[in-house]
Structure 1
């Protein structure tokens, strides 16, 4: 029992754990899950850890019809000293509540959510892989469960956390990826749900991603949904460019997700004394910088891949090779530092990591 009275029911049949060499991303799940219910008038109640199992939902549950849901993504790492570390989990639960606001979902007690996560990890601790490049991916999410076909906020929800041992998100690893600038489809617009982490944003991105994949590109670079000229995100990641010695990234504008890795990168760059700014960036500006030989590096940031270098941008039937298609110096330093802090190999001067004890 914890101070939040989280009930724990252990599985009687443990799963076989995969070899680290066989891990993909998000294919295998641990023995247990956390679940908690919300009922209008009662609030959040009955926090519990149970054996991992299918959910039983009414076919009229509102999640199936109106998509009222939010989610998060973070990771747990095991160090060489056998410590289990979480990277800035408090930021994830703060952002989850921001998403809740946008989707009309009741707020969670962030301290309870973190305690639930720690307890679940303690139960499934032996699922955390320790091979290089591996981690335990954590997916907290909330779904609307009221059986009702009227269009309104649900009066019932479930908050669930599941765990998955994973290898690198991109099979290329830290190798630079090819990105196509998306001119037809848009991810979101200011006033929409782009600043929330909700499933509909990702469903809306699939068509463009599918089409770019058939042309040999790993992801798409999203432009704004109004003028179709300002850069927003790359795939499901935030995007950074190093231009003439300065690192720039699109400012948070109501349609861009405020990434936790993004925030950490900005703080690291400032700590290192590297010029960094958040502002509007047009794709034409990036093309001009490339033509002038000033586009030095580009990379995406996100929990799943951490840092993903961009080796080529394709726009208006022309490819822009960035840094000769190789990972840039700043990109590599950011990747090594962040993954080093996360794995306990680099000293955490920022107190970003929380140990699960």
Structure 2
């Protein structure tokens, strides 16, 4: 029997923010979705409720052993109604993170149904201003109050939503990135390919240092050799070198980005040469010196495409494409955001309609 999802509507709705001043992740919709897990009972008590604080025992395992995973996706207001971009890929990836963190498998169809019901209740929160969307954050936390080092017996799966503008203050203009050569974020065999909080906590120190130097983000090198490029703090990364687009291959410490996959699919659709392989920082610097590093950009749900205009490595600065957004970066951005907004043909069936 399918699990019934109940809906409790908020008695007092919030005042919606100015769509032209949203920032990123600063406002939250009127409702949230909750699903509980109890050992021996499974996932149960699915419900849409008013957005609210949650109460947890101080011994809840999420606080002590970091058993938590999350996802990020977006909803868009188009001329044909509200659309989602590849949402089932997010729930599929969530379960891969679950497996690595010893969190019970989540019924992906149930999670999707909960999302659709939540979106339907809060549909008026989907913004329509240029460059805006409704950011959706599904996540799971371990809630069993026990201090033994073993997987929790109880969990909460929740979805919260936030109307957002551009992730970076630069918008779609090129950002400056610092290549990190001291700190290590992840190694193959660890949890680098899982979307879990610890991966992001591991990067905060380096990210703050980079910002103090005037850089938007950190480009991570591998944790063993400290020479092979992995990803930017919140994005996968691509380089156009002498006409060929190169992105680091998935190796167990790099997130399998859904936007990354979408970009690769687009490039192949356009017959643009693309390679998923190991690439060293030395190869990248050499390509820059030879005039072959034509473009660089990051990809992710939050920013979609973020052109990279400058890299800093070993106290040297390497300006890419004169610090301007490249032709290919612009084409990819315009195509993906156009598909998301329903203004560009979607030949891949990526868009899912709420109605």
SS at match of 2:12: coil
User: Are the aligned partners of 2:173 and 2:325 in contact in 1 as well (CA < 8 Å)?
Assistant: yes
User: 2:54 maps to what in 1?
Assistant: 55
User: Quick one: which of 172, 178, 201 aligns to 2:176?
Assistant: 178
Deviation at residue 3 of structure 1 after TM alignment? 6.1
Query: CA separation in 1, counterparts of 2:248 and 2:110?
Result: 33
- Where do 1:142-181 residues align within 5 Å? 142-181=140-179
Cα deviation per residue 1:240-263 (whole Å; 9 max; x = unaligned)? 000000000000000000000000
Query: CA separation in 1, counterparts of 2:178 and 2:279?
Result: 17
User: 1:324 maps to what in 2?
Assistant: 322
User: 1:140 maps to what in 2?
Assistant: 138
Query: CA separation in 1, counterparts of 2:44 and 2:181?
Result: 46
Deviation at residue 99 of structure 1 after TM alignment? 0.1
| 2:265 is equivalent to residue 282 of structure 1 | no
Query: CA separation in 1, counterparts of 2:66 and 2:233?
Result: 21
- Where do 1:176-325 residues align within 5 Å? 176-325=174-323
User: Residues 356, 3 of structure 1: CA spacing in aligned structure 2 closer, same or farther, 3 A cutoff?
Assistant: farther
TM-score normalised per structure 2: 0.99
Deviation at residue 4 of structure 1 after TM alignment? 4.0
Query: CA separation in 2, counterparts of 1:317 and 1:327?
Result: 23
User: Are the aligned partners of 2:68 and 2:196 in contact in 1 as well (CA < 8 Å)?
Assistant: yes
User: Quick one: which of 325, 331, 334 aligns to 2:332?
Assistant: 334
User: Are the aligned partners of 2:173 and 2:306 in contact in 1 as well (CA < 8 Å)?
Assistant: yes
Cα deviation per residue 1:316-342 (whole Å; 9 max; x = unaligned)? 221111000000000000000000001
Cα deviation per residue 1:201-225 (whole Å; 9 max; x = unaligned)? 0001000000000000000110000
Query: CA separation in 1, counterparts of 2:276 and 2:207?
Result: 26
User: 2:22 maps to what in 1?
Assistant: 23
SS at match of 1:192: coil
User: Quick one: which of 90, 93, 97 aligns to 2:91?
Assistant: 93
SS at match of 1:331: helix
SS at match of 1:338: helix
Contiguous gaps of at least 5 residues in structure 1: none
- Where do 1:104-143 residues align within 5 Å? 104-143=102-141
Query: CA separation in 2, counterparts of 1:310 and 1:187?
Result: 21
SS at match of 1:111: helix
Deviation at residue 277 of structure 1 after TM alignment? 0.6
Query: CA separation in 1, counterparts of 2:201 and 2:232?
Result: 15
User: 2:69 maps to what in 1?
Assistant: 70
TM-score normalised per structure 1: 0.99
Deviation at residue 137 of structure 1 after TM alignment? 0.2
Deviation at residue 80 of structure 1 after TM alignment? 2.4
Deviation at residue 236 of structure 1 after TM alignment? 1.4
Query: CA separation in 2, counterparts of 1:151 and 1:248?
Result: 41
Aligned length: 355
Query: CA separation in 2, counterparts of 1:77 and 1:50?
Result: 22
SS at match of 1:268: helix
User: Are the aligned partners of 2:239 and 2:246 in contact in 1 as well (CA < 8 Å)?
Assistant: yes
Cα deviation per residue 1:280-301 (whole Å; 9 max; x = unaligned)? 0000000000000000000000
Runs (4+) off by over 3 Å = none
Deviation at residue 125 of structure 1 after TM alignment? 0.1
Over aligned residue pairs, what C-alpha RMSD do you find?
A: 0.9
User: Are the aligned partners of 2:177 and 2:217 in contact in 1 as well (CA < 8 Å)?
Assistant: yes
Contiguous gaps of at least 5 residues in structure 2: none
Query: CA separation in 2, counterparts of 1:96 and 1:226?
Result: 27
